[in-house]
Amino acid sequence: MEDFSRRTFIGGTIAIVATLVSSQGSNAASTYKLGKTSKFKPGSLLIVTVPGQGQKVSVLATATGFFAFSTSCTHQGFQLQAEGKKLVCTYHGSQFDAKTGNVKAGPATRALTKYRTSVKKGYLYITL
Ligand code: FES
């Protein structure tokens, strides 16, 4: 009986570890090419669709780099629009800073999800 319990424990532990490893694999970040950096003029705020993903993201181009965020409003998920250097939600009026993702006006209270950007050989990439 004691041996059976040990085997059951070890088998259960292996199953849990395998589940954890496989679930981490499915949440792995992926990197996508957004286009040539020349498409993103310094000072511009664009909303682009990530190729092969269908997800829309905002990209603010500055002299010091690129800042990318989700364009799903953190209030109720409505699609945000670019307006100057802000992302605005026309549904209830929330506004977000396109460089930091922080809320500038509610009712939203949470900042936007930020995405990492990188530049390689003249192309802008985003990691979701
Ligand atoms: S869904 Fe954006 S402010 Fe309500």
Encode burial over 24-56: b for 16+ CB neighbours within 10 A, e otherwise: eeeeeeeebebeeeeebeeeebbbbebeeeeee
Position 22 scores a pLDDT of 38
C-alpha 51 to ligand 1 mean position (Å): 26
Which residues 6+ apart lie within 8 Å of 111 measured at CB?
74, 96, 100, 101, 102, 103
What predicted TM-score, i.e. pTM, was given to this entire model? Answer: 0.78
- Among 20-24, 26-30, 90-94, 113-117, where is mean pLDDT lowest? 20-24
Task: Give the mutation target among 92, 96, 103, 112 for probing the ligand 1 site: most ligand atoms within 8 A of CB.
Answer: 92
Domain assignment present for 45: yes
Domain assignment present for 15: no
Please indicate whether residue 78, judged by its CB atom, sits closer than 6 Å to ligand 1: yes
Please indicate whether residue 73, judged by its CB atom, sits closer than 6 Å to ligand 1: yes
Count of domains for the chain: 1
Domain assignment present for 4: no
Range of the domain at 64: 31-127
Domain assignment present for 19: no
Domain assignment present for 94: yes
Please indicate whether residue 45, judged by its CB atom, sits closer than 6 Å to ligand 1: no
Q: Judge whether 66 and 48 are in contact, CB under 8 Å.
A: no
Please indicate whether residue 91, judged by its CB atom, sits closer than 6 Å to ligand 1: yes
Please indicate whether residue 72, judged by its CB atom, sits closer than 6 Å to ligand 1: no
CATH number, position 50: 2.102.10.10
pLDDT bin (cut points 50, 70, 90) of residue 100 is: very high
Domain assignment present for 22: no
Domain assignment present for 72: yes
Please indicate whether residue 75, judged by its CB atom, sits closer than 6 Å to ligand 1: yes
Which residues 6+ apart lie within 8 Å of 85 measured at CB?
45, 60, 97, 98, 99
> Which residues are paired to 49 by β-bridges?
56
Domain assignment present for 9: no
Position 28 scores a pLDDT of 81
